């Protein structure tokens, strides 16, 4: 995916998070380590940023399923604080696929495996007319780190 300017995953966005997602089955995985400017409370990652990294993972899941979908609902449970400098892993995977709605779940874990946050979401699959109306047709994609790695692996195998 990796659209130019994306706050979460564009590697060239100087104000972004620079996340790199890898496919894991039908799901995705990425790591993130909050910096001091990502805080809400002193030393603790802002909850909105926790939502952002999960929401980005949700978007990667539906993209890998071959559809354009937006987050319609996202129910989040914050279970433990994420500290500045603490590397976490976000994983997301599809749970149920219907014609216009894909249920997706995401979880953020600390290095020790402790669940820090989780969410359940409904991703709304856009019709061609909706994509046109929102300007989401013909977008130019910039390969992310994981896509570049996949392309390199494919080139080595040919």
- Enumerate the domain spans of the chain: 22-157
- Which CATH code fits 22-157? 3.10.129.10
Q: Whole-prediction pTM value?
A: 0.82
Residue 108 main-chain phi, psi, to 5 deg:
-115, 125
Res. 2 pLDDT band, cuts 50 70 90: low
Quick check: 102 and 94 in contact, CB under 8 A?
Answer: yes
Per-residue pLDDT of 82-126, as tens digits, reads 999 999 999 999 999 998 999 999 999 999 999 999 999 999 998
pLDDT at 153 over 70: no
Taking only the tens place, the pLDDT of each residue in 37-75 is: 888 999 999 999 999 899 989 998 998 888 889 999 999
22-24 and 115-125 strand pairing: unpaired
CA 104 – CA 76 distance, rounded (Å): 12
């Amino acid at each position: 995916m990796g659209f130019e300017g994306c706050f979460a995953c564009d590697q060239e966005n100087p104000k972004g998070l620079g996340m790199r997602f890898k496919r894991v089955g039908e799901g995705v995985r990425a790591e993130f380590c909050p910096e001091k400017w990502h805080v809400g409370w002193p030393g603790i990652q802002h909850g909105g940023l926790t939502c952002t990294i999960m929401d980005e993972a949700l978007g990667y899941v539906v993209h890998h399923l071959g559809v354009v979908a937006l987050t319609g609902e996202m129910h989040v449970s914050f279970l433990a604080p994420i500290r500045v400098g603490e590397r976490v892993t976000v994983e997301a995977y599809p749970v149920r696929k219907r014609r216009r709605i894909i249920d997706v779940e995401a979880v953020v874990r600390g290095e020790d495996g402790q669940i820090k946050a989780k969410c359940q979401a409904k991703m709304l699959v856009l019709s061609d007319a909706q994509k046109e109306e929102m300007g989401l047709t013909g977008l130019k994609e910039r390969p992310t780190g994981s896509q570049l790695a996949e392309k390199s692996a494919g080139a080595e195998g040919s």
